Amino acid sequence: MSEADERAIVRSEIRWAVVAIAAVSVIMLAVIFAAIAMHINPPSNVERINPQDLHLSAEFTEANLGTKVEANGQITARIVATQFAFVPRCVVLPADRPVTLRFSSPDVIHGLLVSGTNVNTMVVPGYVSQVHTVLRKTGDLLMPCHEYCGLGHSEMSGTIRVVPSAQFRPGPDGRVACAAK
C-alpha cells in the first residue's frame, strides 16, 4: 500500500470518528436538555430516600405501610420491596378510582408488575418508585417481583386486592387492610 493510500484511510477514519463523536454529543445534550429544561427524568419520579433507615422513620415505617386514604381524599398504598417479600404482602385498593402506589427498597433492586394492569416499575434502593393508575378489574391481582434480587426472587410476590368502590371502606384512621383469609 502506498503512503498516499494510507493517508487517505487515516483521513477517512478521522472523519467517521468525528461523525460518531458529534452524534453522541448531540444525544448527550438532548438528554441533559430534557432533564434540566423539560424536567423529563427516569420513569420513576426522582425522589430520594435513605435505604438504611427508611423503616425507622417517616413514610415507610411499618405502621404507615399499606393503603391509606389521605385527608385530601387521595388513595395511596405504601409498600416496601425487600428480600424476599413485599410488605405488606397484600394491599386493598378500590376499582375505578385514581390510586397511587409508592414503593421503596431497603436492600437491593427489585421490580414489580401488577398482572393485567399498566403498573410496572423497578424499585431501586435510595429512591421512591411512584405509580399512578386506575385499576379496572376487581379481584386478587398477582404482583410478582420481576427483577432478579437473589435466591428467593422466584418466591417474591404480593397481592393487590381490588374491590368495587362501594366495598372500599376505610377505617376512622383512613386505613384499609386485607382481611385475613
Interacting residues toward ligand CUA by CB under 6 A:
81, 84, 110, 145, 147-149, 153, 156
The region, left, alpha or beta by phi > 0 then psi within -120 to 50, assigned to residue 174 is left
Output the smallest distance, CB 149 to ligand CUA, in A.
3
Which residue, chain included where needed, has cell 422513620?
57
**C-alpha span between 172 and 181 (Å, rounded):** 23
- Residue 52 near residue 72, CB atoms below 8 Å: no
Q: 90 or 176, CB closer to ligand CUA?
A: 90
Output the smallest distance, CB 153 to ligand CUA, in A.
3
Q: 84 or 178, CB closer to ligand CUA?
A: 84
Around Cβ 94, how many Cβ atoms within 10 Å? 23
Q: 68 or 78, CB closer to ligand CUA?
A: 78
Around Cβ 137, how many Cβ atoms within 10 Å? 12
- Residue 66 near residue 88, CB atoms below 8 Å: yes
Which residue, chain included where needed, has cell 375505578?
96
Q: 81 or 93, CB closer to ligand CUA?
A: 81
Q: 99 or 145, CB closer to ligand CUA?
A: 145
**C-alpha span between 129 and 44 (Å, rounded):** 5
Output the smallest distance, CB 22 to ligand CUA, in A.
40
Output the smallest distance, CB 119 to ligand CUA, in A.
15
**C-alpha span between 86 and 62 (Å, rounded):** 12
Output the smallest distance, CB 126 to ligand CUA, in A.
16
